[in-house]
């Protein structure tokens, strides 16, 4: 739902400080005769004017308690692992809705352009995604095409396991999330990745686990049966498998390498 500052603003509560104009990300607020004036065409609905107002002249809700400590944040990161073995417990519709509710706070480059998450839920629905891809590979292997691709990419064994019935794409996940962003959004791809990242950590805090699915993302343009007219005008920016893990990590993962250039 769009945040309209001009509708929320109360002149009687305004302290005349000009903070709203200074923090506005899109220069949609300026001060005139001691009060803010709003340019609704420029406004992207980010709510900064209200969030930083010392007098709460925009009628914002109070913040919840303290954020995570650095130590708690590190623990969240260290506890997360890619999940490739899922328990039989399928996340309920309500649990998935709660999981996705963090999207209300996920930052986007242009606030008003939203994110659409397509939820494929239940083992049958997920295996229905796999079937047409397997069929496509079967047809291609008649022509010798998959054998050549397998040799070039070194993935012959992987392709054969898939053709033999193993779900090497979704790894038996009970739920798959496709993150779509509006095509016209200039920062769309990044917005979608940030959104999926927020969901990934929320999943850990809810006792679930995720697997980023680069294979499904790359296959998506070719897997026409995965498409739906309901995502017209969008592009895919991330695919996440979700479920309750069947295995818990016992030890910390080895550290990753990163560089800092000063």
Ligand X SMILES: Cc1cc2nc3c(=O)[nH]c(=O)nc-3n(C[C@H](O)[C@H](O)[C@H](O)COP(=O)(O)O)c2cc1C
- The binding site for ligand X (CB under 6 A) comprises 81-82, 211-215, 253
* Residue 179 CB, nearest approach to ligand X (Å): 12
How many angstroms separate the Cα of 76 from the Cα of each of 65, 71, 198, 204, 208?
Answer: 18, 9, 12, 7, 12
Other Cβ atoms closer than 10 A to 66? 6
* Residue 252 CB, nearest approach to ligand X (Å): 11
Using the minimum distance from each CB to ligand X, give the nearer residue, 214 or 221.
214
* Residue 238 CB, nearest approach to ligand X (Å): 7
Q: Structure tokens of 106? A: 């996920």
* Residue 111 CB, nearest approach to ligand X (Å): 25
Using the minimum distance from each CB to ligand X, give the nearer residue, 52 or 158.
158
Nearest to 239 by CA among 176, 169, 194, 172: 176
Nearest to 34 by CA among 61, 20, 50, 16: 16
Using the minimum distance from each CB to ligand X, give the nearer residue, 81 or 118.
81
* Residue 170 CB, nearest approach to ligand X (Å): 9
How many angstroms separate the Cα of 206 from the Cα of each of 80, 86, 96, 142?
Answer: 11, 15, 10, 45
Using the minimum distance from each CB to ligand X, give the nearer residue, 28 or 240.
240
DSSP state of 193: H
Backbone angles phi, psi at 230, to 5 degrees: -70, -15
Nearest to 120 by CA among 228, 254, 262, 8: 228
Using the minimum distance from each CB to ligand X, give the nearer residue, 29 or 216.
216
Using the minimum distance from each CB to ligand X, give the nearer residue, 87 or 197.
197
Which residue's beta carbon is nearest to the bound ligand X?
A: 214
Q: Structure tokens of 204? A: 């850990």
Q: Is the dihedral of CA 201, 203, 209, 213 positive or negative?
A: negative
Q: Tokens 């990242």 appear where?
A: 197
Using the minimum distance from each CB to ligand X, give the nearer residue, 99 or 176.
176
* Residue 245 CB, nearest approach to ligand X (Å): 11
β pairing state of 35-38 and 209-212:
unpaired
* Residue 240 CB, nearest approach to ligand X (Å): 9
């Amino acid at each position: 739902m769009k945040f309209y500052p001009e509708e929320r603003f109360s002149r009687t509560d305004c302290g005349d400080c000009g903070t709203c104009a200074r923090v506005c990300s899109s220069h949609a607020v300026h001060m005139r005769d001691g009060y803010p004036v709003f340019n609704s065409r420029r406004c992207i609905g980010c709510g900064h004017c209200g969030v930083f107002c010392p007098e709460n002249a925009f009628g914002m809700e109070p913040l919840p308690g303290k954020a995570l400590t650095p130590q708690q944040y590190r623990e969240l990161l260290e506890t997360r692992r890619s999940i490739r073995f899922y328990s039989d417990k399928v996340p309920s519709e309500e649990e998935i809705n709660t999981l996705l509710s963090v999207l209300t706070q996920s930052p986007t480059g242009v606030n008003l352009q939203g994110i659409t998450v397509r939820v494929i839920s239940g083992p049958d629905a997920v295996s229905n995604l796999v079937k047409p891809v397997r069929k496509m590979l079967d047809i291609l292997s008649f022509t010798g095409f998959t054998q050549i691709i397998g040799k070039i990419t070194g993935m012959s064994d992987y392709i054969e396991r898939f053709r033999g019935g193993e779900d090497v794409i979704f790894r038996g996940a009970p739920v798959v999330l496709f993150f779509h962003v509006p095509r016209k959004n200039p920062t769309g791809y990044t917005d979608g990745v940030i959104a999926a990242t927020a969901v990934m950590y929320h999943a850990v805090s809810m006792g679930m686990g995720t697997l980023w699915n680069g294979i499904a993302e790359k296959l998506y343009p070719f897997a026409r049966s995965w498409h739906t007219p309901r995502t017209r005008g969008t592009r895919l920016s991330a695919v996440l498998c979700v479920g309750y893990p069947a295995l818990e990590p016992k030890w910390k993962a080895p550290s990753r390498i990163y560089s800092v250039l000063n």
